[in-house]
Amino acid sequence: MRRGCRALPLLAPLALWLAAAQAAAPVPEADPVAVVRTTAERVLAGLEREREILAAHPERIYDLVDTYVLPRFDFEAMARFVLGRHWRRATPAQRRRFVEEFRALLVRSYATALLEYGGEPIEYLPPRGDPAEGEVTVRTRIPQPGGFPVEIDYRMRRGADGHWRVIDVVVDGVSLLTNYRSSFAAELRRRSLDALIRTLAARNRGDGGR
């Protein structure tokens, strides 16, 4: 788990790379690994160009995240998983509010981590699954100087529009969504869903960002 926590700052840039295909020049989406590799090169170049601006105005990072991350993550599918049975019991209004706050929580985490990214190289491993079936795991590995490499896997699903979107991120075998699901389940045993949504909203507002 320690290695997984150490790797979390790498999630933001990788998430952005996955996101960039929709905003950048069109990329063939038959191969999700090609999407990752091609968009990675584009976004890395953009981050390098903006490095000085971001150093002076770190809040600008939210514009990048809003532009690139949101289109490439299936936040509703992620929210359904982390809430489990509580999603089935939730009203449409509660579902909408939870998705909004959960999305904001992830975006803010990615934005903060992106500012700390040091440009480590990415190795692309053979994916798991068959793209023709609409769901694959894109596997990457990031070497760490003087330490073990960090493995980051992206579970991706192709939507009805033909675009691949992330439905989970797994760092060194630890699922981001499974962690949130356990944490939220513990909170929901003590409090209501509305209370959890209010807590997420307060956390998002109080992070000194937007």
> In tens digits, what is the pLDDT along the chain, a chain of 210 residues?
444 444 444 454 454 444 444 444 444 467 888 777 766 666 667 677 888 888 888 887 787 777 766 777 899 999 999 999 999 999 999 999 999 999 999 888 877 776 776 778 889 999 999 988 999 999 989 888 888 898 989 899 998 888 888 899 899 999 999 999 999 999 999 999 999 999 999 998 874 444
The answer to whether residue 210 sits within a structural domain is no
Distance CA 203, CA 208 (A): 10
* In-domain check, residue 46: yes
| Cα angle for residues 66, 104, 121 (degrees, 5° grid) | 60
Q: What is the pLDDT of residue 144?
A: 82
In degrees, to the nearest 5, what angle opens at C-alpha 134 toward C-alphas 97 and 153?
A: 75
- Paired strand residues for 174: 171
**What is the H or E stretch that residue 207 is in?**
none
In a domain, residue 159? The reply is: yes
Q: Is the overall model pTM greater than 0.95, yes or no?
A: no
Euclidean distance between CA atoms 82 and 24, whole angstroms: 30
Q: 125 lies in a domain?
A: yes
The residues, ordered by sequence, that sit 6+ positions from 65 with a Cβ below 8 Å of its Cβ are 12, 16, 107, 110, 111, 114
CATH, residue 152: 3.10.450.710
Extract long-range pairs of 35-43: CB within 8 Å, 24+ residues apart.
35/164, 36/124, 36/138, 36/140, 36/154, 37/124, 40/14, 40/122, 42/17, 43/13, 43/16, 43/17, 43/68
8 Å CB contact between 165 and 74: yes
Q: How far apart are CA 29 and CA 163, in angstroms?
A: 6
Is residue 151, in this structure, part of any structural domain at all?
yes
Asked if residue 36 is part of any domain, the answer here is: yes
Number of domain units in the chain: 1
- Largest Cα separation within the chain, whole Å, is 50
Are 28 and 132 in contact by the 8 Å Cβ rule? The answer is: no
Domain around 143: 2-205
**Residue 45 belongs to a domain:** yes
Q: Is residue 173 part of a domain?
A: yes
